[in-house]
Amino acid sequence: MWQSSAAAGRLLLCSGRSWLQLRGYSSTVISGKTVEDGVLSSFRSICGEDGVSLGQAVREQHGKDESVHRCCPPDVVVFPRCVEEVSALARVCHSHRLPIIPFGTGTGLEGGVGAVKGGVCFSLRKMDAVLDLHPEDFDVTVEPGVTRKALNAYLRDTGLWFPVDPGADASLCGMAATSASGTNAVRYGTMRENVLNLEVVLADGSVLHTAGKGRRPRKTAAGYNLTNLLVGSEGTLGIITKTTLRLYGVPEATASAVCSFPSVQAAVDSTVQVLQAGVPIARIEFLDDVMIDACNRFSSLNYPVTPTLFLEFHGSERSLEEQVSTTEEITQSNGGADFQWARDAETRSRLWKARHDAWYASLALRPGCPIAGHVGDGNFHCVMVVNPDDPDELHRVHLFTQRLARRALAMDGTCTGEHGVGLGKRSLLCEEMGDPAMRAMQSVKEALDPLNLMNPGKVLQPGGPGDAQQLFLHLD
């Protein structure tokens, strides 16, 4: 199965798998060179006997994310326990010209963790401390093993929370690396707006703090924005070993709502008008009729089988009333019907059950093409259920993906509203950005990773200058 996405007003393709491209690429993949015994001894001396694994199961587990991209196991998996170990391991890799692939929770959707050129997977799960919580300044620093759910559990009694929610219980450093967002980005922004500082180990083992060591400025104009250069770099510029995050006060109250519409356009118009009216909506999610039908069947619900918006409001008790009534008026003026809303947790959870189960509902659907979208961002997912063993079907899906992405691009949009580029979107990225921007990205990559050791083969097209160098290094 793959998913993809487009938008309200214009189209944003989110996550399409480029099958042919992937297959074409795999024929040029160089099988991982055997890691020498001396290298393994060095790794073991750095992070202990149980910090280095060559086992096939472990390597395969670390060569694949949650997408359909085929598994590319690394030659070895290392489990560092601190930034000093990450740095020491990177120095060994650097001196032996071994690719480095950072691994968080493996919940990505663009094949970002596959070791397409072999090399060493850095699994960061042992580094799982929450550090330096500053409630009065609304910030916290976490190591890469800390997931968003673990952080929010840690924060439970502080009155604070971290809102970026891509669905999966991803690691926060991995979310920074892939510029994750999700359902409530419309209110709280994505990782781009919520990372204050990053500790990064570069390919040569040097340790960089993108906003200076230990700093956590809420606002700064201090030199080039290295923080946002690393956010979304997908492991191709360095290994993120610490992330300092902006926190938010837990809202006093929450309300959820659901509303059915006679057409996609009516739902989209309602969304635009709700935003224009300045309603500080926390989530506004769209499911089309096919998706609603699948959810009804999967979750035993009985929503009208029409385009539907799922909404969530955060605020004080008083402000919620106003947000909900303004929104209801707008939906009614667009022909919306069956507007239901609730404040108590149980009813809210029931109202949103269809949206939460959408992923699994679509897995149970075959064939079909439902659409689910974070319409507040102009971003939607188009979910297609495919048989990965049917090459003809995969080919047709690939052609459809390309068409969908190009339609998004033709409407001033992007081929990837979220989920990143990874393996699957590299050629579309070139179409989206154009040559000068791609050259700039290549030169930034070469500036920070001149040997192309950091997660090689991702984001940038094979055949770029960095990639050629990598081939050279492997062949000589």
- 390: burial class by Cβ within 10 Å (0-12, 13-18, 19+)? exposed
Cβ proximity to a copy of itself, 61 vs 273, nearer residue: 273
CB of 11 to a copy of itself, least distance (A): 10
Selection from 311, 287, 314, 313 nearest residue 301 by Cα: 287
Contact 331, 288 (CB under 8 A): no
CA distance 344 to 340: 13
Cβ proximity to a copy of itself, 130 vs 290, nearer residue: 130
Cβ proximity to a copy of itself, 185 vs 309, nearer residue: 185
Cβ proximity to a copy of itself, 93 vs 274, nearer residue: 274
CB of 302 to a copy of itself, least distance (A): 33
Cβ proximity to a copy of itself, 138 vs 359, nearer residue: 138
Q: Strand 160-161 relative to strand 248-249: parallel, antiparallel, unpaired?
A: antiparallel
Contact 74, 101 (CB under 8 A): yes
Cβ proximity to a copy of itself, 128 vs 446, nearer residue: 446
Cβ proximity to a copy of itself, 71 vs 130, nearer residue: 130
At 302, give phi and psi (nearest 5°): -135, 45
CB of 338 to a copy of itself, least distance (A): 26
Most distant CA pair in the chain: distance in Å?
A: 71
CB of 475 to a copy of itself, least distance (A): 26
CB of 228 to a copy of itself, least distance (A): 4
CB of 33 to a copy of itself, least distance (A): 28
CB of 25 to a copy of itself, least distance (A): 17
- 49: burial class by Cβ within 10 Å (0-12, 13-18, 19+)? exposed
- Whole-number Cα distances in Å, 109 to 87, 114, 139, 178: 27, 11, 28, 10
CA distance 124 to 85: 11
